[in-house]
Amino acid sequence: MSRRCSVDGCTRDARPQRRLCHGHRARVSRYGNPHFTQWGTADEMDVELIVTEQRPAEGLTRLERVLVARGLTERQVPAAEVARIVGVDKRTVERWRSRDRQKRAA
């Protein structure tokens, strides 16, 4: 018999002999909170400071990286430089830009 994950609202099955599904167990071990997601948190002041100063920054959440990349793209900063500042691969920046162009075209 499979049990459901014990986190409220989760519809996935818990891992065998456990109370949590794989996804929530990973969040608890990584962040200490089964509801934490890096896509939901962004410090607008940090994002604006990094875009303005165009300096590398560590410890950014995923959402902050994307927002910084968008801000730098608006300032016509090349993809390689954006990648260096944000701390990702140049191809990742190009993919983000492509996705943003597709959303604007739709």
- Give dist(CA 32, CA 28) in Å, integer: 4
Quote the longest CA-to-CA distance of the chain: 56
- Give dist(CA 69, CA 96) in Å, integer: 8
Q: How far is CA 61 from the centre of its chain?
A: 5
- β strands within the chain, DSSP E: none
* Residues sharing a CB contact under 8 Å with residue 25, sequence separation 6 or more, in sequence order: 15, 18
Percent of the chain exceeding pLDDT 70 equals: 96
Question: Which tokens sit at 86?
Answer: 């944000």
Encode pLDDT of 2-53 as tens digits. Answer: 688 888 888 888 888 888 888 888 888 887 877 777 677 788 888 999 999 9
